[in-house]
Each structure stands twice: as structure tokens, then as C-alpha cells.
Structure 1
Amino acid sequence: MLVARPCTSMGGILVQLYLWEDVKIDLKKVAQKLKERGYQVKTLIPGIMLIAVIDGFNVSVYPSGKIIIKDLKDTKEGERIARIIYELAGVRVED
């Protein structure tokens, strides 16, 4: 299950996956695939954090599957952006 909610401390939308199995995102792989699709990768600290720009928003991605989209207020748009990340990571998200 994909849950997007406002994150007041970070000033954006927090998206998290709740699945039966643990999620482990390969940030290096996702960064490479984002670049291939024309997205800007600002910071990559393997195993810790990836920061990319997707559709004008700074998106922080963590190996646990947590995603924070800065300065975004629309949870549905947050879900859409998160699905891009999860798709590139090979994580199947059920509707």
C-alpha cells in the first residue's frame, strides 16, 4: 500500500510504502535510471540518500522506500512522483 501525507517538518509530501516484505531500494540503480530518463540527480550517497529533481520538485529517496517531495502540497501528485521512483527501483506498488 502506498501512503502519501503532508510532512510539515520537511515542508512537502511524505510517501511511504507499506508491504508485507521489507523494501530495499538500490539508490545507485535508481539514480542511473533517473539520469537515463532525463531527470537531474543532485546528490547520491549510496546506501543513505538520493536527491533528484522530478517535475521541478526536489525529491529525497531513502533505501527504506521513504520518499520526501519538498514544497509539494498535493498528495496525489506526490503519489504519482513516488510511483516513478518505485517503478525504476523495480518495486511493485499495488493500487
Structure 2
Amino acid sequence: MIISKPCTTMKGVIVQPYSWEREVTVDLKKTAECLRNNGYEVRSVIPKMLAIAVIDGYETSIYPSGKIIVKELTDIEMGKEIAKKIIECAGLSELLDG
């Protein structure tokens, strides 16, 4: 399942993939490589800390916990759609079904 809510401090949308069965972790290097291969701009990757990518014109921060912040966006549904692209690249597609 994914949980989505407005981020008032950064004026954006926070999306968090969640699983009852296991801890959600994201390999930032592999996720960034997949995003690049899919044509998205990856601005930086700090392993085990943060990756920054531009997806559909929005800068996103991606964390090892799976938390994604889509900056300068207020539409929660659009934030979920952008996050799904990241979640798929992270190899966590099964979390989209819940």
C-alpha cells in the first residue's frame, strides 16, 4: 500500500510505500539507474541517504525508507502517479496493489 499526504513544510506531497509483512527499503543507486534508463533526470545520489530526480517536471527526493517527497506539487493523486514510477524502479511494485 502507499500512503500519501500533503507536505506543508516543503509545499509538496509525501508518498510512503508501506508493507505489513516486511521492512521497506530502497537501493538508491539501482533506483536512480532505472529512472535514468526510463528517461528521467537524476540530479544526485548520496547512497544510503538521498536521491534527487526530476519526474514529469517535478523534483523528487527519494529516501532509503521508501519515502518520496514530490516538491512544489499539491495534487495528491498526481503525487501518487509520480511516486509509482519510482516505486516500480525500486522493485517494490507489489506494494502498489494494497
Report the CA distance between 1:66 and its aligned residue. Answer: 0.3
**Which residue of 1 is the match for residue 79 of structure 2?**
78
**Which residue of 2 is the match for residue 6 of structure 1?**
6
Q: TM-score, normalised by structure 2?
A: 0.93
Q: Show the 5 A alignment for 1:1-95.
A: 1-20=1-20, 21-91=22-92, 92=94, 93-95=96-98
Q: TM-score, normalised by structure 1?
A: 0.96
Kindly report the root-mean-square deviation, in angstroms, between the aligned alpha carbons of the 2 structures: 0.8
> Which amino acid letter does the alignment assign opposite residue 34 of structure 2?
K
Residues 3-24 of structure 1: CA deviation (Å, up to 9, x unaligned): 1110001110000122111011
Aligned-partner Cα distance in 1 for 2:54–2:18: 24
Gaps (5+ residues) in structure 2?
none
Residues 40-76 of structure 1: CA deviation (Å, up to 9, x unaligned): 0011001100000000000000000000000001000
Gaps (5+ residues) in structure 1?
none
More displaced, 1-10 or 62-71? Answer: 1-10
Number of positions where the alignment pairs a residue of Structure 1 with one of Structure 2: 95
SS at match of 2:82: helix
Report the CA distance between 1:94 and its aligned residue. Answer: 1.5
Report the CA distance between 1:90 and its aligned residue. Answer: 0.6
More displaced, 1-10 or 64-73? Answer: 1-10
Q: Percent identity of the aligned residues?
A: 48
